[in-house]
Amino acid sequence: MLQIIRPYIEHFIFTKSEHPRALGISELENFAGNLDLENYSTSEIDNIIPFILRKSKHDQVFIASGSIFIAGAIKQLLAEWEK
């Protein structure tokens, strides 16, 4: 999956999921490293929004994917950040 979307993505940001079938952060980092993908990892999802805002340019798009729980958490963090 990472290899397919690689041409369209500048940064990958990995975080920990509580789902029992989810890959661990270190496994995701290894996959990204094998594909020479720039990536950032954190076990604290609260750190993701400030990182995105520091790294992104005005015209860039941010996509949250993975489990619905991760996407929901990112949506909630963005809503709180915009207040």
- Residue-by-residue pLDDT tens, the chain, 83 positions: 778 888 888 778 888 777 778 788 888 888 888 888 888 888 787 878 888 888 777 788 777 777 777 778 888 888 887 77
At residue 20, the pLDDT reads 79
Burial class (CB in 10 A: 0-12, 13-18, 19+), 66: middle
The confidence score (pLDDT) of residue 19 equals 74
Closest CA to 71 of 13, 10, 8, 30: 13
**pLDDT reported for residue 9:** 80
Give the pTM. 0.66
Specify the pLDDT at position 39: 84
Show the domain range for 21.
2-82
Decide if 14 contacts 47 (C-beta within 8 A): no
pLDDT score recorded for residue 53 = 80
Consecutive H or E run containing 68: helix 68-82
Q: What total number of domains does the chain contain?
A: 1
